[in-house]
Amino acid sequence: MAKKQIKTQSELAELLGMSKNQLSNILSDDFDPIKSNVRKLSDFFEVSPLSIIKDTKENIE
């Protein structure tokens, strides 16, 4: 988020067109990806969708 100069999760959620609760769920330990949300995150950060899923699952373990 720092690279994109985003200071809060609320700001990121707004930029992605999702609620803060949706973003919090994605970032939580109970993450179960919804394709459209993963796509929004990966497009925004210019990374592959797999890297979003992989990084989240690695942080859980």
Class of the 2-60 domain?
Answer: mainly alpha
pLDDT of residue 20: 92
0.85 exceeded by pTM: no
DSSP 38-59: HHHHHHHHTS-HHHHHHHHHHH
Tell me the average confidence (pLDDT) per consecutive run of 10 residues in the chain, 61 residues long. Answer: 86 90 79 73 88 60 42
Q: Residue ranges of the domains in the chain?
A: 2-60
Contact 23, 9 (CB under 8 A): yes
**pLDDT recorded at residue 27:** 78
